[in-house]
Amino acid sequence: MILQSKKILICRQEDRAAELAENLRKKGAIPTVFPTFQIQEIPLNEMALDKFKHMKKDTVLAAGSPNAIKFLRKLFKQTKIPCEILQNIPIYVVGDKTAKAFESYFPGTVIIKIYPRLQILLDDISETYRYQSITVINPTSRQSLHNIKLTIPANLVLHRIPLYETVSANMHKKNILSEIRNKHFDAIIFSSPSSFDGFIDIMGEGVFSTNPVIVAFGPTTALHLRDTGKMADVIPSAPKSDKIIDSLEKFFTCAEQDVQ
């Protein structure tokens, strides 16, 4: 097995990394899960809160992540906004997991369409409502607000409202950090821009001195890495366990053939 004994660091929350770690073990790899950030709520001011309270028929909700839906549900509960309000407006999302989060937190809501990226979503909404001016509300994170640059179509009024933010995880014991510094990983997997930023905050640049293979879950993470001076060696076709493992196997197979 090409991944046999490969030491792979997964920078992701433990519950969300469990499936990937287990499947890597089945391939003979030695995975280590390393949560590099924590998620915390951002209190909203009245102006931002009113955007959700007064959503109308000319409003579209565009959600980009499961966490955005989780914190949106929490906001509705805290402020007593009725969930039924979402049944009266079109809802568009990025990714299957975001759609599933909607089904879980807001049963009965109807997802109009699922997209691979937020920019594609906005462009399609613009085309769908090309003869109208449409307000788009995008619950998001503070990091996405800064990291994901968008081109706003002329007929859309976009309100990107951060409901949460990620901060560097600070709960790791010194012996764990020492182990990670000294383990010389064959590959490091970053699940998001925040996972990379948190990793750098905690570990610094030293871990990269052994030239591990850098894996980015998708193009957004890869672009963020590039902007900070790191290039992703592997970008799977989808951020799914089997796709990530397939991409790693292909990379290491090609690397071994080049050596031979």
Length of the chain: 260
Give CA angle at 186 (22, 197), nearest 5°: 85
Instruction: Identify which has the larger pLDDT, 215 or 220.
Output: 215
Residue that is written with structure tokens 């012996």 in the block: 175
What's the confidence (pLDDT) of residue 230?
A: 92
Percentage of the chain lying above the pLDDT 70 cut:
98
CB 94 within 8 A of CB 64: yes
For residues 195-212, give the mean pLDDT.
88
CB-count exposure of residue 119 (10 Å: 0-12, 13-18, 19+): middle
Per residue in 70-119, pLDDT (tens digit) is 999 999 999 999 999 998 899 999 999 899 999 999 998 899 999 999 99
pLDDT at res. 260: 56
pLDDT of 129 above 80 = yes
Q: How many CA atoms lie within 13 A of 223 on its CB side?
A: 8
pLDDT of res. 258: 65
In the structure, what pLDDT confidence band is assigned to residue 62 with cuts at 50, 70 and 90? very high
89 secondary structure, DSSP code = S
**Domains in the chain and their CATH numbers?**
7-35+171-259 (3.40.50.10090), 40-166 (3.40.50.10090)
| pLDDT in the model for residue 38 | 86
- Average pLDDT of span 28-40: 92
C-alpha to C-alpha distances, 105 to 16, 37, 75, 99, 109, nearest whole angstrom: 18, 23, 12, 10, 9
Q: Which of 3-7, 29-33, 129-133, 164-168 has the lowest mean pLDDT?
A: 164-168
Burial class (CB in 10 A: 0-12, 13-18, 19+), 30: middle
Average pLDDT over residues 237-253: 93
Residue 111: its pLDDT value, please?
Answer: 95
Give CA separation, 83 vs 60, 112, 154, 178, in Å: 15, 17, 30, 47
Mean of pLDDT values over 1-19: 92
Q: What is residue 180's predicted lDDT score, i.e. its pLDDT?
A: 82
